[in-house]
Structure 1
Amino acid sequence: MNVREWLFRKFLKNFGVVEKNSIYRSGQPGWIRRAIIYYFYPFKSVINLAWAPNTDCQDNDEKIFCTKRGIKYCSFLWGAGGPISKEEMLKAYELMIKLDKPIWVHCEGGKDRTGGLIAFWKKQQGYSFDNIFEDFEVHKYPAWRWIGLLFEE
């Protein structure tokens, strides 16, 4: 990990490059950090895994930010402990395949929901478990339910 990647992860809410020019990940930053991420990594699509517009004002602000820039915005209302269902996980995975790249995937802290979905995506793409668990070491381990999904067929 280079200095820039380390700084971005520390100061931009667990930010990371999953696949260069294709998929980025983080927790949900405020408007200043979001603008910094967009400046350095101009994404075309967003997947928000912690959609809660009635209790989190950042969600509405983020959606407006995306709408003004023609960025596709998708959201899921998942808890940190795991997705609502395997079908919901597959919907999010399919979006990661179909949406215009680059995609920015995030939840509130960038660990559980984001880490779980990124790990699931990596498994489906043929990444090794070593690579997936190295990601967990960098961005922190998600809740056990997310890890368990990696071993389901």
Structure 2
Amino acid sequence: MKLESSEVEICTAVVGAPSPTGQILLAAKVQGSGDEADRDGEELFVPPLNFAMVDSGVFRSGFPDTANFTFLQTLGLRSIIYLCPEPYPEPNIEFLKCNGIRLFQFGIDGCKEPFVNIPEDTIREALKVVLDKRNHPLLIHCKRGKHRTGCLVGCLRKLQRWCLSSIFDEYQRFAAAKARISDQRFMELFDISSFKHLPMTSPHSRRCQS
């Protein structure tokens, strides 16, 4: 549903309640301490937690706050995929309005093991948004950019024909000590056969060697 021009357009779908090798990171522009930056007239660009480039026009991170807004402006985002069920904070909504960014919300509860129920239908709907290049540049984020974001990116990697060992390696680099077997199991079993479109090409594609 398209809202008035003075409001941010939000697409909501609720179903149920470290830098990997080979990825490109966009570094923060930080020169000296905060005082030095102020004296030199330099503007600080602070990426959100766990920020990284996934593919051309697709980024991932933890929840961005106001300190990250200037950095996000440098990406020229058209869309944000938000994977939490909680309402988007008002300062973030204002940032989207001012920058013409569309918000797609797919509410996935941040449950902990062993009570984990990743809604496959929700991941499928989010993947459709990621695969539509009209939504690029696009940022995927949840709370900390580990589990929910990791699962969505992992399923994207299956569409890009990454082998499971590389998918799991990428997931674990972001999740670190918080890696979940259930997340990896979900990615392993995720069925990509229903996707008719060609997967996005990736300069970081990792196929298993025969």
Instruction: Please confirm whether the aligned pair reaches a TM-score higher than 0.5, indicating the same fold.
Output: yes
The structure 2 residue matched to 1:85, chosen from 107, 119, 140, is 119
Q: Identify if the C-alpha distance between structure 1 residues 59 and 151 changes in structure 2 by more than 3 Å, giving closer, same or farther.
A: same
1:34 paired to 2:64: no
C-alpha contact 1:80 1:143 (8 A) present in aligned 2? no
- Structure number with greater Rg is 2
Instruction: Please state how far the C-alpha of 1:37 moved relative to its aligned partner.
Output: 2.8
Instruction: Please state how far the C-alpha of 1:7 moved relative to its aligned partner.
Output: 5.5
Q: Identify if the C-alpha distance between structure 1 residues 46 and 11 changes in structure 2 by more than 3 Å, giving closer, same or farther.
A: closer
Counterpart residue identity of residue 38, structure 1: Q
Q: Provide the alpha-carbon RMSD of the alignment.
A: 2.6
Aligned to 1:12: 48
Identity fraction in percent: 21
Q: Identify if the C-alpha distance between structure 1 residues 122 and 59 changes in structure 2 by more than 3 Å, giving closer, same or farther.
A: farther
Counterpart residue identity of residue 48, structure 1: Y
Figure out how many residues of one structure are paired with residues of the other and give that number: 145
C-alpha contact 1:51 1:59 (8 A) present in aligned 2? no
Q: Which has the higher contact order (CA 8 A, sep 6+)?
A: 1
The structure 1 residue matched to 2:147, chosen from 90, 97, 112, is 112
User: SS in structure 2 opposite 1:114?
Assistant: helix
C-alpha contact 1:83 1:113 (8 A) present in aligned 2? no
Deviation track 1:69-92 (CA, whole Å, cap 9, x = no partner) reads 211111122123456521111111
In structure 2, what is the Cα distance between the partners aligned to 1:74 and 1:88?
12
Unpaired runs of at least 5, structure 2 = 1-20, 29-45, 192-210
1:46 paired to 2:83: no
Deviation track 1:59-113 (CA, whole Å, cap 9, x = no partner) reads 3322221122211111122123456521111111111112521110000000011
Counterpart residue identity of residue 96, structure 1: V
C-alpha contact 1:28 1:110 (8 A) present in aligned 2? yes
The structure 1 residue matched to 2:163, chosen from 128, 143, 150, is 128
The structure 2 residue matched to 1:145, chosen from 173, 182, 186, is 182
Unpaired runs of at least 5, structure 1 = none
**Following TM superposition, where does structure 1 have runs of at least 4 consecutive aligned residues deviating by more than 6 angstroms?**
none
